[in-house]
Amino acid sequence: MRLSAFQPPRSPAAVAALELATRYHTESVRNHVIRSWLWAEAFAVVEDRRDIDHELLYVSALLHDIGMAPAFDNVALSYEEAGGHVAVALTTGAGWQAERSRRALEVIVRHNWPAVDPTLDVEGYLLEVSTALDISGARPEALPKDLVQEVLAEFPRLQLAQEFGRDVVDQADRKPHTAARRLVDGGVVAKLQSNPLEQSN
């Protein structure tokens, strides 16, 4: 399995999602959301997951943390829900039907669930396991080592541990009713620092 096997969609929604991620995120977080998409697609291959809406998965992965960006931070909503609504607006503008736009919101919100049943939402499941790998270091042995090294070389982690740790603590402090509080209480800052991908970087 090689990085070249995974080509991003070239649809208007996909192009716009990458543009937003590039414009509003730091390079560290932009690389994180791209890696999250790549890990999700790789998990789909190794686990033989089928009937995946690849465009939906890409857009959701690229926008799953956009609610942390100052321009889209919401005073009351969790960062994942705020980001999901950005995805609804973007995909609606790109011509998606209302039900499919809502799916982007669902996938982004569910990526912060403790676990997602793939029979309920396969795209939500793939984004949850991929972000768990990239942030917390869950299941680092599940994907081929050569692919992992190739992805990290192309999209390095840079200052992700410091930046994401700072931002999620800020979200938890200001919005303690959201999943950010659970993540912080669950030790996500330490998990970021000890993530095996940090050592592989």
What residues contact 70, with CB distance under 8 A and at least 6 apart? none
Per domain, the residue ranges of the chain are 9-200
pLDDT one-digit tens code per residue, 46-101: 999 999 999 999 999 999 999 999 999 999 999 999 999 999 999 999 999 999 99
Reported pTM: 0.96
pLDDT one-digit tens code per residue, 133-192: 999 999 999 999 999 999 999 999 999 999 999 999 999 999 999 999 999 999 999 999
Q: What is residue 200's predicted lDDT score, i.e. its pLDDT?
A: 66
CA distances (Å), origin 39, targets 84, 87, 171: 20, 20, 25
Q: Tell me which CATH code domain 9-200 carries.
A: 1.10.3210
CB atoms within 10 A of CB 107: 30
Counting other chains too, the contacts that 136-140 makes at CB distance below 8 Å and 24 or more residues apart are 136/188, 136/191, 136/192, 136/195, 137/191, 137/194, 137/195, 137/196, 137/197, 140/195, 140/196, 140/197
CB atoms within 10 A of CB 12: 14
